[in-house]
Structure 1
Amino acid sequence: MALDPSNETRQDDSERRIEGARILIIATHGFEQSELMVPLRALRERGARVDVATPDAETIRGWKDKNWGDPIDADLAIADARMADYDALVIPGGQMNPDMLRMNTQAVELVRACERGGKVLAAICHGPWMLAEADVIDGVQVTSWPSLTVDLENAGAIWTDETVVVDDNIITSRNPGDLDAFVDAITTLVAEQRAELPVA
């Protein structure tokens, strides 16, 4: 279903309740600059701890305006990341980034672990390529950059042209123009899941 992020009261509640959440972003060279940096900054501003995992725990460089963009430092290696430690997994796009990540068996297994655990799994633009590679979207409604439509449908997904699509724990968006709705959807769903956790 498409998520309507216009409910201000719900969003305000979500922003308060995401305090203390842990979110993992996985990426490698060629990530779309805004699709990593906007969620990283916005989710941190909303109180989450956000880690960036790269294949070798090394600095990676983004892609911006048809050229190499800014570097970003890694917090850990993908091989050292455990979904048990996180509330959500976020996959930015950029054509190169997910195309290389889907050849990384540890990155693919993180996606599968996220889905098995019922945790928030969010991908934007070309990022849903990773969902197809991990075989977690059979029967799931998704969106993406338009050129991925056939790939995602071949993986069993139901593709739709929406700003943001939320199907159970999976969130997808099309492009950088959808980032506000994408981040709001992540915030809302993470908050809802954390609210259902037993109180310690």
Structure 2
Amino acid sequence: MLNDKTIAFLVAPEGIEQVELTEPWQAVKQAGGTPKLVSTKAGEVQAFNHLDKADRFPVDATVDEVSVADFDGLVLPGGVANPDLLRTVPGAVRFAKEFFDAGKPVAAICHAPWTLIEADVVRGRKLTSWPSLRTDLRNAGADWADREVVICTSGPNTLVTSRKPDDLKAFCQAAMDAFAG
């Protein structure tokens, strides 16, 4: 399904909700794709289980070392601190925005749409998120819905969004379908 496709996972150095990284990562691998961990700094990133430190994961490349041309899609895991930090790093915001500019699919879960708000790519798009982002997304011009998964094709690319870890099964399936084309 994803043979010869490489999917970027963009994360901050810490604050990633671990299951929102590991489950989509496994889904990409099981579908025959190659996941790559991209961050704002080299080394390792620190994942969390809500507020508790969890595992560390090695970074494959930094946002300054890669190009959107190297990837077929993008996953933005959540966690509160992760997208909050990403949206303050111009290179990370640029990298996320370039997937929209290139018409490549993007999948974002939980708090991850904060990075997309900063990239100014949610205007006119339908999406979901963790409920606390509802007002932020609406203020940025998005049509927010409280659903397990929202697949929006009314823009330059396919955008898949989900609310929380409980939505991961539906999120992973929709994301793999989007990445498969």
**Corresponding residue of 1:54:** 39
Q: Map Cα deviations across residues 162-189 of structure 1 (whole Å, 9 max, x no partner).
A: 1110111111100001111111111111
User: Can you give the 5+ residue segments of structure 1 that lack an aligned partner in the other structure?
Assistant: 1-16, 193-200
**Corresponding residue of 2:102:** 117
**1:140 correspondence with 2:129:** no
What is the alpha-carbon distance in structure 1 between the residues aligned to residue 114 and residue 50 of structure 2? 22
Q: If each structure's helix is expressed as a fraction of its own residues, which one has the higher value?
A: 1
Quote how far apart the aligned CAs of 1:65 are. Answer: 4.3
What is the alpha-carbon distance in structure 1 between the residues aligned to residue 180 and residue 26 of structure 2? 17
**Corresponding residue of 1:198:** none
**Corresponding residue of 2:3:** 19
What is the alpha-carbon distance in structure 2 between the residues aligned to residue 65 and residue 82 of structure 1? 31
Q: Is the 8 A contact 1:57 1:78 kept in 2?
A: no
TM-score (norm 1): 0.86
Q: Is the 8 A contact 2:50 2:79 kept in 1?
A: no
Q: How does 1:1-200 map to 2 (within 5 A)?
A: 17-28=1-12, 29-168=14-153, 169-192=158-181
What is the alpha-carbon distance in structure 2 between the residues aligned to residue 43 and residue 189 of structure 1? 11
TM-score (norm 2): 0.95
Q: How many residues align?
A: 176
What is the alpha-carbon distance in structure 1 between the residues aligned to residue 85 and residue 53 of structure 2? 16
3-state DSSP class of the match of 1:52? strand
Q: Map Cα deviations across residues 39-90 of structure 1 (whole Å, 9 max, x no partner).
A: 1112112100110011112201111143111101100111112111111011
- Runs of 4+ aligned residues of structure 1 deviating over 4 Å after TM superposition are none
What is the alpha-carbon distance in structure 2 between the residues aligned to residue 75 and residue 85 of structure 1? 13
What is the alpha-carbon distance in structure 2 between the residues aligned to residue 102 and residue 58 of structure 1? 20
Q: If each structure's strand is expressed as a fraction of its own residues, which one has the higher value?
A: 2
Compute the RMSD of aligned alpha carbons: 0.9
Q: Is the 8 A contact 2:122 2:141 kept in 1?
A: yes
What is the alpha-carbon distance in structure 2 between the residues aligned to residue 32 and residue 138 of structure 1? 26
Higher Cα radius of gyration: 1
Counterpart of 1:26 in structure 2: which amino acid? L
